Amino acid sequence: MWGRKSSGSSGGGGGNFDAAGCTALFNKYVDAEEDPFSIGMDGISTLCDDLDLDPTSDVRVLVLMFKLGANAKPGQISQSEWNSGMQALGMSSLDDLKAGLAGMDTGFMEQAEFRKFYKFVFQFSREGTHRTIEKDMIVALLQMVLAERNNTHLNSFCAFLEASGEEAVRITLDQWTSFLEFSTLIPEDCAGYDEDDENCSWPVLIDEYVDWKQKSKKK
């Protein structure tokens, strides 16, 4: 895991990486009964309390997990990921983390990195082995993740999802990532979106969204 760079992050606290302190910190949040080698959602929640973050509304939690590289399984971070991630960030204590929080916002990320983060959010927020996320969660995530990114479609897309009836709509990774692409390419009034043209490779969900939007505009 050496050589992993996290661009755009402000440097952590002290210059020396304290491996022991890092591990100790890790163990603080681990639930030894469940799984001593990874911090689960409970532990992350506790960590957030310590950092004064609200995990349900503060995107920096996710950014932190992203930068630490919690890729293996959704909703948890393993010990090796923790160690290498903390090391890469140059943080080994809670204070370091607190200090580094300022740099963990999404507003200043470059497009490429944000994309990766965005994808990470989906993967991390899944439940267990599911490959999809249900729409209520999606709406919450979108609002959290895209808040600072000037996304013109955010609100109407969330309204669309919520209005899409009782069917338990589950969103796939493909749809999730496509939404980001879509909102960068197509302006708010969906001008130039022609279902039969080059735009036809968007997922059906996006087509339905555009339809819905244009219909509700007519009303």
Partner 1 sequence: MSRPLAAGGNKPKPKMKLKIKPFAKPPSLPADFEATTWAKLSASVTAIQSKLPLTNASGAPVSREELYRSVEDLVVHKFAASTYASLSKMVDEHVSSQIESVAASAPTLEPSSMADFLPLLESVDRAWASHSDAMSSIRSIFLYLDRSYVIQTPNVPALHDVGVSCFRKHFAASPLRSRVIDGLLFLIKCERDREAVPTSLIRSLLRMLVSTSLYSESFAPLFLAQTTLYFREEGLSKISASVPVYLEHTHGRLKQASEQVNAYLDPSTRPELIAAIESTLVTPHATTLLAKGFDDLMDNKRVAELRLLFELLSRVDKLKDMKSALGMYIEEKVRELLESASSRKTPAPPLPSSTSTSSSSAPAPSSSSSSSSSSFTSCVDGLLQLRDSIEVMYKEAFSSSETFKAAVKAHFEIAFTTKTNAAAELLAKFVDSKLRASKATDSDTEKTLDKVLVLFRYLNGKDVFEVFYKNMLSKRLLQRKAASMDAEKSFIGLLKTECGTNFTAKMEGMLKDMDLSNEIVSNYTSWCKDPTREAKQLVQPLSEDTSKCEMNILTNGYWPTIKKSENLLLPEAITVHQKRFIQYYEDKYQGRRVEWVHSLSTCDVDFAVDSKTKKTLVVTEFMALVLIAMNDAGSAPVSMKTLIERTGIEQAEMELVLQSLSLGKKTEGASTRVLTRVRSGDQKQDKTVLLTDEFVVNRKFRNNLHKVKIPQIANKLEEEAEEKKAHESVKRDRMHTIDACVVRIMKTRKTLKHQELISEVLNQLRWQAEASDIKKRIESLIEREYLERSDTGKGYNYLA
Q: Which residues bind partner 1 (CB under 8 A)?
A: 131, 172-175, 178, 181, 198, 200-201, 203-204, 207
Smaller CB distance to partner 1: residue 27 or 164?
Answer: 164
Q: What's the min distance (Å) between Cβ of 158 and partner 1?
A: 21
Q: How many other C-beta atoms can be found within 10 angstroms of the C-beta atom of residue 48?
A: 18
Q: Provide the pairing of β-strand 170-172 with 132-134.
A: antiparallel
Task: Check if the beta carbon of residue 95 is closer than 8 Å to that of residue 18.
Answer: no
Q: What's the min distance (Å) between Cβ of 155 and partner 1?
A: 25
Smaller CB distance to partner 1: residue 15 or 128?
Answer: 128
Smaller CB distance to partner 1: residue 45 or 172?
Answer: 172
Smaller CB distance to partner 1: residue 27 or 178?
Answer: 178
Angle at 97 between CA 95 and CA 98, to 5 degrees: 65
Q: What's the min distance (Å) between Cβ of 211 and partner 1?
A: 11
From CA 102, how far away is CA 60, in angstroms rounded? 9
Q: Which residues have CB under 8 Å from 219's CB, separation 6+? A: none
Smaller CB distance to partner 1: residue 27 or 199?
Answer: 199
From CA 113, how far away is CA 6, in angstroms rounded? 9
Q: What's the min distance (Å) between Cβ of 90 and partner 1?
A: 32
Q: What's the min distance (Å) between Cβ of 59 and partner 1?
A: 25
Task: Check if the beta carbon of residue 125 is closer than 8 Å to that of residue 42.
Answer: no
Smaller CB distance to partner 1: residue 191 or 204?
Answer: 204
Residue 171 φ/ψ, nearest 5 degrees:
-100, 140
Q: What's the min distance (Å) between Cβ of 175 and partner 1?
A: 8
Task: Check if the beta carbon of residue 6 is closer than 8 Å to that of residue 67.
Answer: yes
From CA 14, how far away is CA 92, in angstroms rounded? 8
From CA 140, how far away is CA 67, in angstroms rounded? 21
Q: Which helix (H) or strand (E) holds 170?
A: strand 170-172
